[in-house]
Amino acid sequence: MLAAALLAVTSTGCTTGKSSTTQSSTAQTQAQTQSTRTAPPRNADAARQTLSWKACPPPTAAEGGSSGRAPGPDWECATLHAPLDYAKPRSNANSIDIALIRAKATDQAHRIGSLVFNFGGPGGSGIATLPAFADDYKKLRTRYDLVSFDPRGVGRSSGVTCLDDRQLDAYYAADATPSGPAGEKALVERVAAYAAGCERNSGKVLPHVGTENAARDMDLMREVLGDAKLHYFGVSYGTELGGVYAHLFPDKVGRALFDGVVDPSADPVQSALAQAQGFELALTNYMGACAKTSDNCPTEPQIRALLERLGTKPIPGAAGRDLTRSLATGGIAQSLYSKDFWDYLTEGIEDAENGDGRLLLSLGDAMNGRGQDGHYSTLQSSLNAITCADFAQRYTAAEIEQRVPEFRKASSVFGDFMAWSLTQCTGWPVKGAWQTPDVSAKGSAPILVVGNTGDPATPYGGAKHMAQELGPGVAVELTYRGEGHGAYDSGNACVKGAVDAYLLDGTVPEPDKICS
Return the active site residues. 236, 455, 485
Helix axis angle, 181-202 relative to 397-410, nearest 10°? 110
Residue type, 167: Q
Is the bond preceding 122 in cis, omega lying within 30 degrees of 0? yes
Are 157 and 99 in contact, with CB atoms under 8 Å apart?
Answer: yes
DSSP string, 46-71: HHT-----EEPPPPPGGGT-TT----
> CA dist 13 to 161, 235, 460, Å?
23, 15, 15
Helices and strands, counts by H and E, the chain: 18, 12
**CA distances from residue 337 to 121, 153, 283 in whole angstroms, order as listed:** 13, 25, 10
274 and 461 Cβ atoms separated by less than 8 Å: yes
DSSP H or E stretch at residue 311: helix 300-312
Widest CA span of the chain, in angstroms? 66
Alpha helices in 76-180 (DSSP H): 126-132, 138-141, 165-173
Asked whether the beta carbons of 226 and 498 are under 8 A apart, the reply is no
CA distance 469 to 446: 14
| Residue 329 dihedral angles phi and psi, to the nearest 5° | -60, -45
Which residues in 106-153 belong to E strands, given as ranges?
A: 113-118, 144-149
Q: How far apart are CA 379 and CA 260, in angstroms?
A: 18
Q: Which of 109, 6, 91 is nearest to 45 (CA)?
A: 91
Rounded CA gap, 95 and 46, in Å? 10
**Residue type at position 145:** D
